[in-house]
């Protein structure tokens, strides 16, 4: 890994809810510089530019054609991810996108192929897996603290994002649902911890035909639900380890750990994969206590966007850790779970990916 002399110039397409999290992280990323923003709704881009000196508000086409922009950060809704990524690639830009890589794996495959053909690096959220929480768990597994990994459980239960998101429609359309919305955090984490997935078996349900928006100008409006809202299944990793997944927008909460990993000689409690930090606890065979492990790996005090820093400091011929290929494999796994749920059959996963290298414990530094 070697740092570029100049930071990578980033243009954001999509100035909605999540951009705020990225804007908070950017000052900590010395290899990344925000230069421009765009949105179909120009007033949203104007508002971001007005609050961030040096950042220009452009139309989407202007941003794609802008010589200063080297990487397009795609923060649009899932249905627009592929189209925006393809436009950026054809304009010769690197791309880093919010999850999922695309609304479906067919579109995602087209994005991967276009980036490969153009020789342009493609990165994709989630980058929470690069924080100290998941990375410390990963190092514990690599260091043999649980022996041979046998299984994991991953549980996400919530009553639904329409309670807080002012425009939650996309969560209940194809490309949304608890699996495609929250699953990327869990499936990417399981891939980082236990490696790629060889096959899956799933089951799913769908309780209500509409949801009611709970906040903002559209509060009280009913929106249609055309996705499964409770999805469960088993991932058979290439290593032979088995992960059990529960993703739900239909229930209330869980008190169990979000993720547990069990090995022959120890069990690990892994922190929330939708966050960057959190304690990792180990219960070793023969011990009666859970022990909190010292933080040993990952980007310290990271936030959304650290995956772009990781991409920027990765040698050009090396895959970034939050890679398009890993995101594609995660999407393939999630779609295959839904296919399995609908067919009742186990599904073999055709794609695979590299298990990214562990992130050494790395302090982020504010650019001078």
Ligand X SMILES: NC(=O)c1ccc[n+]([C@@H]2O[C@H](COP(=O)([O-])OP(=O)(O)OC[C@H]3O[C@@H](n4cnc5c(N)ncnc54)[C@H](O)[C@@H]3O)[C@@H](O)[C@H]2O)c1
Q: Which of 84, 101, 173, 282 binds ligand X (CB under 6 A)?
A: 84
Report residue 16 CA to chain centroid gap: 17
| Contact present, 235 and 242 (Cβ < 8 Å) | yes
Quickly count: other Cβ atoms within 10 Å of residue 279's Cβ.
16
Smallest gap from Cβ 352 to ligand X, in A, equals 24
Close Cβ partners of 13 (under 8 Å, ≥ 6 residues apart): 37, 38, 39, 60, 63, 72, 73, 74, 75, 76, 84, 88
Quote the tokens at residue 367.
């650019």
How many residues sit close enough to ligand X to count as binding (CB under 6 A)? 22
Taking the least distance from each CB to ligand X, the nearer of 78 and 266 is 78
Stretch that binds ligand X, among 12-20, 187-195, 219-227, 334-342 (CB under 6 A): 12-20
Beta bridge partners of 36: 11, 56
Q: Is 37 in the site for ligand X (CB under 6 A)?
A: no
Q: Is 16 in the site for ligand X (CB under 6 A)?
A: yes
> Minimal CA–CA distance to 226: which of 244, 247, 211?
211
Q: Is 41 in the site for ligand X (CB under 6 A)?
A: yes
Taking the least distance from each CB to ligand X, the nearer of 40 and 357 is 40
Phi/psi region, residue 119 (left: phi>0; alpha: psi -120 to 50; beta: rest), is: left
Q: Is 163 in the site for ligand X (CB under 6 A)?
A: no
Q: Is 127 in the site for ligand X (CB under 6 A)?
A: no
DSSP string for 39-66: -SSHHHHHHHHHHSTTPEE--HHHHHH-
C-alpha distance across the termini of the chain, in Å: 20
Q: Which of 25, 57, 70, 76 binds ligand X (CB under 6 A)?
A: 76
Taking the least distance from each CB to ligand X, the nearer of 297 and 327 is 327
**Helix or strand holding residue 111 (H, E):** helix 105-118
Q: Is 241 in the site for ligand X (CB under 6 A)?
A: no
Taking the least distance from each CB to ligand X, the nearer of 84 and 201 is 84
Q: Is 60 in the site for ligand X (CB under 6 A)?
A: yes
Taking the least distance from each CB to ligand X, the nearer of 147 and 214 is 214
**Strand 71-74 with 94-97, pairing:** parallel
Beta bridge partners of 222: 212
**By CB under 6 A, what part of segment 89-118 binds ligand X?**
98-99
Q: Which of 34, 58, 77, 353 binds ligand X (CB under 6 A)?
A: 77
Residues that bind ligand X (CB under 6 A): 13-18, 39-41, 44, 60, 75-78, 80, 84, 98-99, 165, 167, 181
């Amino acid at each position: 890994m070697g740092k570029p002399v100049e930071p990578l110039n980033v243009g954001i397409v999509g100035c909605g809810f999540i951009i705020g999290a990225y804007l908070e992280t950017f000052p900590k990323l010395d290899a990344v510089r925000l230069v421009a923003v765009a949105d179909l709704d120009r007033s949203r881009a104007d508002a971001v530019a007005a609050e961030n000196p040096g950042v220009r508000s452009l139309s989407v086409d202007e941003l794609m054609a802008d010589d200063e922009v080297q990487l397009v950060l795609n923060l649009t809704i899932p249905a627009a991810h592929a189209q925006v990524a393809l436009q950026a690639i054809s304009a010769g830009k690197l791309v880093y996108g919010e999850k999922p890589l695309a609304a479906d794996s067919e579109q995602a495959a087209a994005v991967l192929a276009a980036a490969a053909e153009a020789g342009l690096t493609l990165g994709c959220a989630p980058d929470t897996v690069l924080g100290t929480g998941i990375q410390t768990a990963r190092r514990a597994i690599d260091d043999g603290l649980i022996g041979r990994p046998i299984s994991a459980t991953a549980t996400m239960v919530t009553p639904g994002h329409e309670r807080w998101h002012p425009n939650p429609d996309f969560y209940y359309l194809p490309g949304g649902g608890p699996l495609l919305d929250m699953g990327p955090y869990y499936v990417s984490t399981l891939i980082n911890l236990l490696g790629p997935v060889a096959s899956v078996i799933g089951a799913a349900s769908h309780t209500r035909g509409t949801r009611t928006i709970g906040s903002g100008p559209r509060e009280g409006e009913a929106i249609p639900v055309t996705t499964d809202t409770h999805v469960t299944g088993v991932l058979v990793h290439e290593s032979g380890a088995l992960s059990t997944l529960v993703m739900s927008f239909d229930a209330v909460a869980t008190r169990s750990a979000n993720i547990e990993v069990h090995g022959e000689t120890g069990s690990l409690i892994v922190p929330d994969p939708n966050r960057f930090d959190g304690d990792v606890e180990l219960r070793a065979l023969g011990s009666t206590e859970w022990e909190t492990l010292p933080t040993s790996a990952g980007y310290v005090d990271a936030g959304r966007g650290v995956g772009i820093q990781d991409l920027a400091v990765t040698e050009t011929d090396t895959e970034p850790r939050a890679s398009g290929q890993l995101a594609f494999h995660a999407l393939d796994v999630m779609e295959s779970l839904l296919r399995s749920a609908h067919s009742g059959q186990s599904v073999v996963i055709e794609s695979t990916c590299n298990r990214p290298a562990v992130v050494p414990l790395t302090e982020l530094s504010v650019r001078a």
